[in-house]
Structure 1
Amino acid sequence: MMRFVFINIWLAGDFLLVLSVGLKDTPTLGSKDNPRVLSKDIINDGFEYQVHQNHSVFFYHEDSEEMYVGGTDFVLKLDVDDYHVIETFPLKATGQQQCKEGPCENVITVIEKFQDSLFVCGTNGHKPQCWKLFSSVNNQSREIMKSYEGTGISPFVYTQNSISLTVEGDLYSAAPLDTDGSSLQFRRKAGSRTHVWMYDNWVSEPTFISASWIKRKEDPDSEKIYIFFREKNSDQNPEADPWISRVARVCKVDEGGSKRFFQNMWTSFLKARLVCGFPDESLYFNRLQDVYVMHDDDWRDTKVYALFTSSWNSTAVCVYSVGMIEEIFENSTFKGYSKDIPTPRPGTCVKNSRHLPLATVNMVKDYPEMTDWVHSTHSKAPFYISSNNYTKIAVDRVQAADQRMYNILLLSTDSGKIHKVLEAGSKPFIISETQLSSQSNIQSMKLDSKKKKLVVGFSEKISTVDLQRCQDYNVSCEDCVLARDPYCAWTKFGCTPTDPGGVQDVMNGEISVCKEQNQTHRTKRETVSPSPVELTVHSVPLGVPFYLSCPIDSYHAIYTWKHGDESSPCLQMQSNCLHLIPSMAQENYGSYSCVSEEKEYTKEVKNYQLAEQRIPDMVDRSNTPDTINDASAVVSQIWMNLGLAVALMGILR
């Protein structure tokens, strides 16, 4: 008997350890700064690698049923519906005897659709190389054809900074030109147009984040490539942030300067400071981490969602429009330049850049930076600030039941989670949190807006997140509406992917729309009602500690325990609310209800009935096996509850 009791005490100690760890990553109830709903389990839908990958990259087009994944020494072609491998392309490093340091691996760093083929580049044992994968013809296997040396397109080591972009048959890229990661600049590296590159003095130790081509249907010759990066701050003041975030642009038609001056150099390069923070307090998030560009038919309305981090361990999202960015480039003065601005204005797109006046090109060479800063659309403060360490961002555009369009920010954390954040009005609303991995960080992320899915790459797997996870709020119409999730609406089938006739209130989450819907449709169709809360009965002896538990459905709600005329607050433990009774007394018996309240919606989550139980006489002279077993079970349960109670009191004190 004593050995059995000892085991239960050990379990309680183990529970204390688990509980104390779990509480560190648990959001606080009632706070709107946390996700409203947390997924209960880790989502495992996707593809698992046979060997973990230190780096992976994938190419996936929304209109395709195929996805290409690049890892170490291979490219996989996957079916996006069930993630089975259609084809494997081995791409081991060539010339392995020339590897001077580290393993001689070919880590794939670039996969782009380029001209008539899929263009793949890798580190190739510290000697970057590129290949073309041609489409199969007549069901024949694909042909891998060696293309050309890949320096300037792929980094030498996968940890070095690089980006790539294809535009109308041209390849733009930024990758180191030297093995130590230096000589990093943005170039047009391959294609039908002239190869052009940057002047060394334009940037200082840059980290390139993203590049995007903004189309102008009415004026294609004025189309530009926008480059987002951060660079070393020239201000040596100890209080100055070491980094400055930038947006730069070059003209798509730029062919470089004349043979006499600035040949094969960008003649249209301009840069401006991209600011996110509180201008009135001179407090800024200066380190640009990731960028997502949401294109619009009118290029001026194209939005740039930028993710920043700060020196005080916070992250922020600021939103910019390309129209606002262009206004700075077209109207700001040039930093450090006080004379008359030549004509055409530096940075203007012209059909033949080789004929630009020397004065214009010289301005670009010596004074490429704008004096004015690019501020966000929420100029006085970032749109969203969080203590979560976000690493990547994507933004989806969703048509809700009211036919209005809403933007949803999809933010990845450094702990393998995805946060879904609603942009509706001036304040963000954090809809949900989905745990995808507990093993590794998110390496890559791709949005499929048509299928409403998010494809996420980890070192051990590729996961797919269904953005229409309406089952998370399927308890009642009120739960569905309070979610404010434009992907989901309440119908006669419950909370389902948005239906034009469904019940929603994305802007405010007002549950009054549920009452209106019930009155309107009561005679027309059957509506789904929440299931009645079951009553759980426990028999508990006098004098022992005991606790009750109810699940947390919404972290924006306040949970209360009701017992007779008394109310007590919830003691939060991870995804549960507890009610702790240190020692059972007569007044502790009876009915208990766990009640949640969010806005004006109150519901019972859990109901209990506690009844008195007598402990069997453990010194019964009959000493029958059944009597001993019953006594053991009761004492075991008492000790377990005692251990849990002690653990809870220690942590929640």
Structure 2
Amino acid sequence: MCPPPQRRLAASPARRPPPLPLPPLLLLGLLGLLGPPLLRCAALPRTASPRILTGAQGWKNFQFNTTEKHIAVYHEEGSSSVFVGAENKLYFYDFENSTSYVERFDVDKSRSMCENTEEAINYLTFIGKYQGKVLVCGTNACKPTCWYWVNRQKEAEINGQSLAPFGLDKNSLVLIDGNDIYSNIRKYQYNGRIPRFRRVQGAAELYTSDTVMKNPQFVKMVPIQQKEAYDDKIYFFFREDNPDWPNNPLAPRKISRVAQVCKGDKGGNGSFSAAKWTTLLKSMLVCVDSATNRNFDWLQDVFIIESDQIYGLFLNEWGYSAVCVYSVSDISEGFKTSPLKNYSGKTPAVRPGQCLQGTEKTPPETFKVIDSYPEVAAQMNGKIIFYSKHRYQQLGVHQVQVADKENYDVLYLATDKGSIHKVVILPDGPMNILEIQPFRSQAVILAMILDKTRNELIVASANEVVQLPMASCGAYKNNCGSCVLSRDPYCGWINEKCTSINEHKNGTLLQSLRHDVPRNICPTSNNSEGDSSSPSSKEDLIVTLNARCFLNCSQESHYADYTWIHNNRTVAHCNSGHRHCLHFIDNMTNELYGEYSCVSKEDWFHQTVITKCLKNPSQDSKFKNVKSVGLASVPSLSFWLGLLHMIAIVFTIQ
């Protein structure tokens, strides 16, 4: 028996024409389109991720006072604060004590260098720590300028050429490494159309020849430490036009590259090479799934972790994403040992790309070869570890030491829909364990920063910045089966709670980081049925005779099967991988009243996710005079047109 009714959610008139049969696809449109006329029992999840997490405990956010056209985010590792550069202003927010301020960086339009006065804006495009101070750089009305930001005060203006663009430019990167600053931003406004890789501060200024890259779009710059300090490198990753196309029409038009220069490069001996990189070599980055022979050519993002690994995020022509992993030592060895592509001459005494010690400079004969043949013949082949139909745009990787002291890599992948997928690399393959929706309303992720010291993510949109813990164990409910089956390296079961491993360094947490989780891992009381029958997961619904009703069960796990049960009989079944489990009652009758339970089953573990009790108001005097708010007649033409529009939207988001 159902408990006494507590509240009325919807009703429908007792008299209406016979119901129209609806195909399953139309149910999706109805669920999103209809408000009060149909009983909507729950909202659909937006994507087919394993679990969806929004607004969890420990999340903190800072909202801007407007929607920003552009942002640049700086967060110092281990700190609780964040700087955000925007249009004519600098935001500061401390998540720990909720202190904030906004400082103006306005421009004097009378001194603007822009041809169009409407472009006389100061977009703050870069913020970083240089020589112990916060360096803020902006377009400054087409006159790039930097300021040191100290004690909430601007110090004197600094020439920002090559540190900030003349106007908004998405293909602008700046890297601070010790006393050296590297950039791909052009130095002059009306010449130098070909982007160059430069060293602009610190040691002698150097730049790349215009012939070594063809229409490059830069992705990332990173410092690479070697065993010997003189051999340290800067790697930069980019896409460029493929020289093999159009001679080979089957070749991709764009190819992805990794290039190296020696940090100790001092330029060449001759006048032609004195201000140029003389140790530059480049190679093709290859990311191919051998099982399906799918090529992923379009490099999106790069992330390097300390254990000699480079993770690259790629797209293919169909918009599918893949992550390939490369070894720093393998790339370094390839640059050192591979012959130059298309070069058949004698190798100079100082090998192209070789780092020299002390004050020695690259000889002219070596520079002549490398300037004409900068590409090595060897390709850098990555090991594909994960690919997906989702279009990922940003990548972060965190290496976690779990309860058994083993290390696991966790990938944070920002989608084009404004969510983050959390993928753990398990011994028997990767697993997408969680979808994080960081913002209050759906928005594009413009920046994502991993703080390994604090185990936090900093995520920014055009409206807000959010700080959230990497360990969001509350997403897995407080039952052992759900906790261990999450395969989340940050979480384990202890003291009758799903808890972060960082809170129990010395405790014995139950974890299982494998696809096949042992049946007996949990205590006997938790081995089969998890207790999710809290008051919040039970709901009474008042539905009149002849009404239509949707019952929707949000799928907490992408890997579980879901079943709706009524009077010990299965009325709807949804296999794993579906976005939702929906049961539709087209015409309410007396025998359809009662309790409906949605039960999930994953491997050996099953639990009741939600229970809904459908009640007839005519059987209770409190509801006999309820006014009807349901369908009063056959749906109108405008109704069906709206429904078809919703179906089109459903197809689009899928």
- TM bucket by the smaller chain? 0.7 to 0.9
Equivalent residues of 2:301, 2:314 under 8 A apart: yes
For 2:326, the equivalent position in structure 1 comes to 320
Matched residue type, 1:67: V
Displacement of 1:67 in angstroms is 2.5
1:272 aligns with 2:275: no
Displacement of 1:481 in angstroms is 0.5
- CA gap of 1:220–1:496, structure 2 versus 1, over 3 A, is same
Post-superposition CA distance 1:50-86 (Å, at most 9, x none) = 1221111122112334332211112233323244215
Matched residue type, 2:315: T
User: What secondary structure sits across from 1:324 in the alignment?
Assistant: helix
Matched residue type, 1:70: G
CA distance in 1, matches of 2:423, 2:579: 20
CA distance in 1, matches of 2:594, 2:170: 65
CA distance in 2, matches of 1:353, 1:365: 21
1:38 aligns with 2:47: no
Residues 217-236 of structure 1: matches in 2 within 5 Å?
Answer: 218-234=227-243, 235-236=245-246
For 1:128, the equivalent position in structure 2 comes to 144
Displacement of 1:255 in angstroms is 0.6
For 1:508, the equivalent position in structure 2 comes to 515
Greater Cα shift, 446-455 or 220-229: 446-455
Q: Going by fraction, where is helix more abundant, 1 or 2?
A: 1
Equivalent residues of 1:505, 1:513 under 8 A apart: no
User: What secondary structure sits across from 1:185 in the alignment?
Assistant: coil
Post-superposition CA distance 1:264-322 (Å, at most 9, x none) = 111110000011123687642111111111123xxxxx211111111111111111110
Root-mean-square deviation (CA), in Å?
3.8
Equivalent residues of 1:26, 1:574 under 8 A apart: no
For 1:53, the equivalent position in structure 2 comes to 68
- CA gap of 1:393–1:93, structure 2 versus 1, over 3 A, is farther
For 2:39, the equivalent position in structure 1 comes to none
1:368 aligns with 2:374: yes
- CA gap of 1:168–1:513, structure 2 versus 1, over 3 A, is farther
CA distance in 2, matches of 1:77, 1:636: 49
1:448 aligns with 2:444: no
For 2:395, the equivalent position in structure 1 comes to 393
CA distance in 2, matches of 1:325, 1:496: 40
Matched residue type, 2:389: S
- CA gap of 1:586–1:462, structure 2 versus 1, over 3 A, is closer
For 2:131, the equivalent position in structure 1 comes to 115
For 2:157, the equivalent position in structure 1 comes to 146
Greater Cα shift, 314-323 or 335-344: 335-344
Among 84, 92, 98, the residue aligned to 2:107: 92
Displacement of 1:17 in angstroms is 5.8
Normalised by the length of structure 2, the TM-score is 0.83
1:329 aligns with 2:335: yes
> Which structure 1 segments of 5+ residues have no match?
28-33, 297-301, 523-527, 617-625
Among 246, 255, 275, the residue aligned to 2:266: 255
CA distance in 2, matches of 1:640, 1:113: 67
Post-superposition CA distance 1:578-605 (Å, at most 9, x none) = 3223234565355543211112212222
User: What secondary structure sits across from 1:365 in the alignment?
Assistant: helix
CA distance in 2, matches of 1:315, 1:479: 29
- CA gap of 1:15–1:558, structure 2 versus 1, over 3 A, is closer
CA distance in 1, matches of 2:43, 2:612: 25
CA distance in 1, matches of 2:120, 2:500: 48
Residues 156-175 of structure 1: matches in 2 within 5 Å?
Answer: 156-175=166-185
How high is the sequence identity, in percent, across the aligned residues? 29
- CA gap of 1:173–1:630, structure 2 versus 1, over 3 A, is same
Displacement of 1:26 in angstroms is 3.9
- CA gap of 1:648–1:467, structure 2 versus 1, over 3 A, is farther
Displacement of 1:346 in angstroms is 0.9
Displacement of 1:24 in angstroms is 9.7
1:205 aligns with 2:223: no
For 1:620, the equivalent position in structure 2 comes to none
Matched residue type, 1:325: I
CA distance in 1, matches of 2:539, 2:617: 15
CA distance in 2, matches of 1:25, 1:596: 16
Matched residue type, 1:604: T
- CA gap of 1:259–1:536, structure 2 versus 1, over 3 A, is closer
Displacement of 1:608 in angstroms is 4.8
User: What secondary structure sits across from 1:604 in the alignment?
Assistant: strand
Post-superposition CA distance 1:306-345 (Å, at most 9, x none) = 1111111111111111011112111211101123322222
Equivalent residues of 1:481, 1:509 under 8 A apart: no
Equivalent residues of 2:68, 2:462 under 8 A apart: yes
Equivalent residues of 1:254, 1:353 under 8 A apart: no
Displacement of 1:177 in angstroms is 3.7
For 1:468, the equivalent position in structure 2 comes to 471
Equivalent residues of 2:73, 2:83 under 8 A apart: yes
Greater Cα shift, 548-557 or 486-495: 548-557
Give the length in aligned residue pairs.
Answer: 604
User: What secondary structure sits across from 1:175 in the alignment?
Assistant: coil
- CA gap of 1:151–1:614, structure 2 versus 1, over 3 A, is same
CA distance in 2, matches of 1:18, 1:37: 20
User: What secondary structure sits across from 2:380 in the alignment?
Assistant: coil
For 2:9, the equivalent position in structure 1 comes to none
Residues 386-535 of structure 1: matches in 2 within 5 Å?
Answer: 386-425=388-427, 427-437=429-439, 438-498=441-501, 499=504, 500-508=507-515, 510=517, 512-515=519-522, 530-532=531-533
1:599 aligns with 2:608: no
User: What secondary structure sits across from 1:184 in the alignment?
Assistant: coil
CA distance in 2, matches of 1:222, 1:294: 19
CA distance in 2, matches of 1:71, 1:445: 16
CA distance in 2, matches of 1:253, 1:312: 41
> Which structure 2 segments of 5+ residues have no match?
1-11, 35-41
CA distance in 1, matches of 2:107, 2:633: 56
Matched residue type, 1:588: L
Matched residue type, 1:350: L
Among 286, 308, 318, the residue aligned to 2:297: 286
- CA gap of 1:259–1:36, structure 2 versus 1, over 3 A, is same
For 1:350, the equivalent position in structure 2 comes to 356
Equivalent residues of 2:258, 2:282 under 8 A apart: yes
Residues 530-545 of structure 1: matches in 2 within 5 Å?
Answer: 530-532=531-533, 543-545=546-548
User: What secondary structure sits across from 1:515 in the alignment?
Assistant: coil
Displacement of 1:385 in angstroms is 1.2
1:630 aligns with 2:640: no
- CA gap of 1:568–1:97, structure 2 versus 1, over 3 A, is same
- CA gap of 1:590–1:449, structure 2 versus 1, over 3 A, is same
User: What secondary structure sits across from 1:176 in the alignment?
Assistant: coil
User: What secondary structure sits across from 2:157 in the alignment?
Assistant: strand
For 2:122, the equivalent position in structure 1 comes to 106
For 2:8, the equivalent position in structure 1 comes to none
CA distance in 2, matches of 1:395, 1:225: 20
Q: Which has the higher contact order (CA 8 A, sep 6+)?
A: 2
- CA gap of 1:552–1:173, structure 2 versus 1, over 3 A, is same
CA distance in 1, matches of 2:146, 2:119: 19
Equivalent residues of 2:564, 2:583 under 8 A apart: yes
Among 316, 323, 328, the residue aligned to 1:310: 316
User: What secondary structure sits across from 1:268 in the alignment?
Assistant: coil
Post-superposition CA distance 1:399-431 (Å, at most 9, x none) = 211221111111111221111111123522111
Post-superposition CA distance 1:163-216 (Å, at most 9, x none) = 11112201111113454782311111011x111110110001111111111123
Among 176, 192, 204, the residue aligned to 2:186: 176
For 1:243, the equivalent position in structure 2 comes to 254
Matched residue type, 1:431: I
Equivalent residues of 1:344, 1:360 under 8 A apart: yes
Residues 550-565 of structure 1: matches in 2 within 5 Å?
Answer: 550-564=553-567
